[in-house]
Amino acid sequence: LWAAAERVDSLQAYNPRYDAVVSLGELASSRILAAALKADGQDAAWLDAREVLATDAVYRRATVDWVQTAARTAAALAQPAAVTVTQGFIGAAPDGSTTTLGREGSDYSAAIFANVLKVSSLSIWKDVPGMLSGDPKVFPSVVRLEQVPYREAIELAFYGASIIHPKTIQPLEQGETTLRIRSFVDPDAPGTEVGPFAALTPEVPCWIRHENQVLIEVSSRDLSFLSEGHLSEVYRIFAEEGLLVRAAQHTALSTRFAVNDDRVAVPLALERLNSPYRTTAEYGLRLTTVSRPDAESLATLLAVGPLRMMLRNHEVAQVLTAPN
């Protein structure tokens, strides 16, 4: 661990080292669990996910090689134990080095294995009674969602619903796999099902909040319009630096973006943007999103704090605010 955590002086060296370090917890805990199951007399086997989950070499946000992953998983589980214990969140680059799938990537790993194994259902166990209409620590009067269509789950995950990794739903929808979100605190509770449903049940507004957001404004240096080509370049830089744009607002001369305050990626993106464009950045902001907004939720949304940016369509409303 100490050898892997030695200081590095460049981002190119930092990202592979980061993946090597943060994966150690998954590897150690899964070995402990497999050993405990065996000691209990169960037919259990430990599987190193890096041997089966193949990715590219983009560290910290690797992309899955589906063909290789399917073939390796089938071979590894050709004669499976009754219980196979593996890891979430991690895979391996073509050279064998450890990669990670992004934050909350363990759910995504489960969906990947469900897809390549062609299973009909996948259960994910959480410390909450299922998927809720908001974080109960932040929003009052939230309710449990009983059934969530794939599309709605993807939308909620994209906007930041923390209970599901943003990439988790797509492989499940492709494999027609039903996702069951259950509570390990109350295993007999019904939880939430995500699947091919016609509508959200119950049909209520859903709330999501992100703290520590940065408002980046990009404008031309000569008062010229920002064209589609300029915007494409800006989004490309954000993507290359690993920044997810959670909200964006365009005018003729400038565009404003809300992104997570990543202490490595934000400065690098601003440095690259400062040459062709004029940029400003405001830190410490809060992004609140409500899907399926009604009159009451919109009134609540507008009262959350000093407004920096507001976006709204018939499906989603968002406000970026400064602290009160």
Are residues 213 and 248 both part of a single domain?
yes
Residues 90 and 25 both lie in one domain: yes
Write the pLDDT tens digit of every residue in 37-79. 999 999 999 999 999 999 999 999 899 999 999 999 999 999 9
Predicted model pTM: 0.81
Residue 107 in any domain: the answer is no
Residues 15 and 86 grouped into a single domain: yes
Domain that holds residue 133: 122-204
**Same domain, residue pair 200 and 211:** no
Same domain, 296 and 312: yes
CATH code (residue 191): 3.40.1160.10
Q: Are 130 and 183 in contact (CB under 8 A)?
A: yes
Contacts of 57 (CB under 8 A, 6+ apart): 93, 94, 95, 97, 99
CB 67 within 8 A of CB 106: no
Q: pLDDT category, 5, cuts 50, 70, 90?
A: low
| H or E segment and range at residue 14 | helix 11-22
Residue finishing a domain among 49, 67, 102: 102
- In-domain check, residue 167: yes
Query: Looking at residues 170-191, what average pLDDT do you find?
Result: 95
Burial class (CB in 10 A: 0-12, 13-18, 19+), 306: exposed
pLDDT value of position 136: 86
Task: Count how many domains the chain has.
Answer: 3
Q: Which of the listed residues 174, 204, 234 is the one where a domain comes to its end?
A: 204
Which of 162, 179, 204 is a domain's end point? 204
Task: Assess if residue 112 is contained within a domain.
Answer: no
Residue 116 in domain: no
Q: Are residues 304 and 237 in the same domain?
A: yes
Looking at the structure, do residues 77 and 126 belong to the same domain, yes or no? no
Question: How high is the pLDDT of residue 229?
Answer: 87
The residue behind tokens 């200081």 is 7
pLDDT at 113: 98
